[in-house]
Structure 1
Amino acid sequence: MKIAFLYVAEPYQCYHVAAVSSALAQFPNMSVTEFVSFPETAQHLEAIRRENNLGGRIERGVLKMPLKAALLRRLRRLDAEREVVMRENVAQLEQFDAVVATEYSAGLLREMGLVRPALILIQHGAGDRAVNDEHLIRHFDLSLVSGPKIAESFLAKRLATAAQTRIVGYPKFDAVSKERCQEPSLAARKPVALYNPHYKKGLSSYGRFLHPLVDAVNQLDRYDLLIAPHIKIFHKDFGGRRRLFESVVGGRVSLDAASSALLDMTHTARASLYIGDVSSQVYEFLIRPRPCVFLNPHGVAWRDDPHFRHWTLGDVVEREEDILPALAQAESRHVLYRARQEQVIHETFGSQPRRGASHRAAQSIREFLRGEFTVAPLPAVA
């Protein structure tokens, strides 16, 4: 069996897939080839395998990169570049028995003419947000998801059937060191409040709440604030957004806009308080229940909306003047949310052991391709 793993987005995606391709490559009669469009992604893949002693013989394929793709990258139109690269490489991918990806947009390969290979999705992230290309899940022959929450969502929206869906856990946990899931270091001067704004227009909080948040942190004098934005904030950006974040750095406020710690759970493990809007990283933070504060400057009607399930896990702030009280009370009010956090984490990542998801995913891919795949009942989410 010849399996292609397709990496046509930034390095964040490789943390969800690297351990799976390594596990699959260790099965007999499985040939694994990785296609990478960003040089940084290859560097992250090598670091993940080195730091976690991941084995398996993996070939490195070469993607054709047309001039249009290079131009789109220079213009920071990375989502558009992704589509151009996929279209250019359909014929090459057609030679494989399966193509594995972690981006919904890989479903476009079917519309671009990919016929022979099975198309397999490894769900990246564990969040609730509605995304524009979610409908492309229908093009995948098999979807591997972290827990019953996402599996039931796929079924309820008729994006996939039970026969096309398998709960395996969260392979990213196998791609980061065990220390990422343990208690944070006590060496920090003050507890760290992690601010993790998303890029989605109409939902992200940094445009309106960045400066009020920094003012509140400085006035409270309880936390060191680490600003760690979703890396897609810097798409279509020629330095303006980075300068905005840099303008508030100083004293107890720091910024990480580029390091691997944005991707490998370093920040979510270290922090004592999570402040954000709609990023799925809140679920990585909550593998150890801790206080959360969510920012809703746009006044989104979120209650009873499953796409904002995570906003039931902490106080939600809609006015500037309420930021300081929310931060001041976050620890004392955590008792109100802890049980709910534990329940939702169980729904998100399932009941299987945290480690081993990559092997379960690899085994599922192997069974599917060999025609040995059995349909297991999916647990319902309350």
Structure 2
Amino acid sequence: MPTDIAFLAIAEAQQLYHWLPAALELARRPGVRVSVLSPSDQLLALVASYDPQGILRPVRLRRPPSRPDSLFRQPSRLATLLLNYATIARFPTLVTTEISSAWLRRVPGFTSHLILIKHGAGDREGGYKKRHADFDLTLVAGEKDRRRMIDRGLCTPEAIAVGGYAKFELKAPRQRYFYNDDPVLLYNPHFDPALSSWVNHGPAILASLESLTGWNVIIAPHTKLARAAAPIVSHAPHIRVDMGSRHSIDMSYTMSADVYLGDVSSQVYEFLLHPRPCIFLNLDHRDGAGDAFAHWRLGQVIDSADALPQALARATGLQPGFVAAQEAAMQESINLSLVPASQRQADLILNFAQTSHPAKS
């Protein structure tokens, strides 16, 4: 009998890149059958675009009433889980990147093992929820997250492992988005209204970006912000706005930019796969202490949108002073082993699936 492992694709498309490499790696191994469960034809099509040999088994879940199918708008996760419980629960091992699946634990008789691949490698406290404790095994990108999960009582040391950041294996190449050779600034605001630079200061930031000379600008907010906020519109010829496309989630922009501008998004760590200048917006004048702002040590921090031109002018000259901190932060946040993350994650998942004890009741 094959080892049956199912990946739950019930979240928005940006999370797909964190589990898909491991799913593909597992499906190549003898005696393993990997299914992908999703209520979205568009998500399953995106998966298939990375699986030309068709080694993954797509399972189209019933779709709760919702808006039209979209990569960035999925139906209620809880409704999807309940509507498809019988299909989902027949798989002995379920892998996911979102914590809503922990609600399955509340259904009497549920016996499947739940494995979480924690998506992202950021610093804000919103990445740590009580439901994280409901998973049998959690895989994180680096030692930073492993330590924080244990310190917060969300995992025992035996139930969490560092598996690396498999999304890097699907990253898009550097691309040219403008018709000149000016350097490219990527502005990537987060969606959390309590921390996002855009939510409270959007007009001032846009005005500063539009007034820049000698720079091209990509504005690519986190897809959750792009979904919730009014569309960002600019007619400036040096500005490209992306409110949600494949480019905004496959690292096209983080690989193609020369300078990063943001607030608390974990995408800064994707940008720092290759150390480059970073600028962080502290327009609400926070003290910057605590884990949520740990990455602010990796570049300039400015407290006014008007200060952006001067920060950009200094960025190249100041960058050598930030390289050591950027490399150390990356080593803590994302374990970059010579062994690909997809292989490490697949080993951990398969070993757990084949040797684990009965699921928690």
Does TM, normalized by the shorter one, top 0.5? yes
Give the match for residue 343 of structure 2.
359
* From 34, 50, 59, the counterpart of 2:36: 34
1:110 CA displacement: 1.3
2-side partners of 1:77 and 1:358: how far apart?
Answer: 24
| Structure 1 stretch displaced more, 22-31 or 95-104 | 22-31
Identity of aligned residues (%): 31
Q: Any residues of structure 2 matched to 1:331-346 within 5 Å, and which?
A: 331-346=316-331
* From 48, 51, 55, the counterpart of 2:50: 48
Normalising by the residue count of structure 2, what TM-score does the alignment of the two structures yield? 0.90
Residue 317 of structure 2 corresponds to residue 315 of structure 1: no
- Deviation string 1:325-381 (CA, Å, 9 cap, x unpaired) is 22222222222211100100111112412x6111111111111122289xxxxxxxx
2-side partners of 1:126 and 1:132: how far apart?
Answer: 9
In structure 2, what residue type is equivalent to 1:364?
A: L
Please state whether the residue corresponding to 2:218 is helix, strand or coil.
strand
Residue 219 of structure 2 corresponds to residue 223 of structure 1: no
Cα 1:129–1:22 shift into 2, 3 Å: same
Give the match for residue 189 of structure 2.
197
Cα 1:249–1:128 shift into 2, 3 Å: farther
Give the match for residue 259 of structure 1.
245
Please provide the CA RMSD for this pair: 2.6
Task: Give the gaps of 5 or more residues in structure 2.
Answer: none
| Conserved? CA contact 2:40–2:63, under 8 Å | no
In structure 2, what residue type is equivalent to 1:320?
A: A
Please state whether the residue corresponding to 1:3 is helix, strand or coil.
strand
Give the match for residue 164 of structure 1.
159
2-side partners of 1:261 and 1:56: how far apart?
Answer: 23
1:122 CA displacement: 0.8
1:133 CA displacement: 6.3
Give the match for residue 23 of structure 1.
25
Give the match for residue 292 of structure 1.
278
1:220 CA displacement: 4.2
2-side partners of 1:236 and 1:255: how far apart?
Answer: 15
Please state whether the residue corresponding to 1:347 is helix, strand or coil.
helix
In structure 1, what residue type is equivalent to 2:271?
A: F
2-side partners of 1:27 and 1:188: how far apart?
Answer: 46
In structure 2, what residue type is equivalent to 1:252?
A: H
- Deviation string 1:65-85 (CA, Å, 9 cap, x unpaired) is 233xx26x79x9958712211
In structure 1, what residue type is equivalent to 2:352?
A: F
- Deviation string 1:218-253 (CA, Å, 9 cap, x unpaired) is 54413111101111113345xxx11xx11x232211
In structure 1, what residue type is equivalent to 2:63?
A: M
1-side partners of 2:222 and 2:47: how far apart?
Answer: 20
Q: Any residues of structure 2 matched to 1:139-178 within 5 Å, and which?
A: 139-177=134-172
1-side partners of 2:109 and 2:282: how far apart?
Answer: 41
In structure 1, what residue type is equivalent to 2:260?
A: Y
In structure 2, what residue type is equivalent to 1:58?
A: L
Residue 335 of structure 2 corresponds to residue 350 of structure 1: yes
* From 62, 65, 89, the counterpart of 2:63: 65
| Conserved? CA contact 2:72–2:244, under 8 Å | no
| Conserved? CA contact 1:16–1:175, under 8 Å | no
2-side partners of 1:155 and 1:208: how far apart?
Answer: 34
1-side partners of 2:222 and 2:185: how far apart?
Answer: 16
1-side partners of 2:178 and 2:236: how far apart?
Answer: 22
In structure 2, what residue type is equivalent to 1:267?
A: Y
In structure 2, what residue type is equivalent to 1:322?
A: A
Task: Give the gaps of 5 or more residues in structure 1.
Answer: 374-382
Residue 355 of structure 2 corresponds to residue 371 of structure 1: yes
| Structure 1 stretch displaced more, 186-195 or 15-24 | 186-195
1:3 CA displacement: 1.2
- Deviation string 1:275-320 (CA, Å, 9 cap, x unpaired) is 01111111000011111111122233322x0121111111222223
| Conserved? CA contact 2:282–2:303, under 8 Å | yes
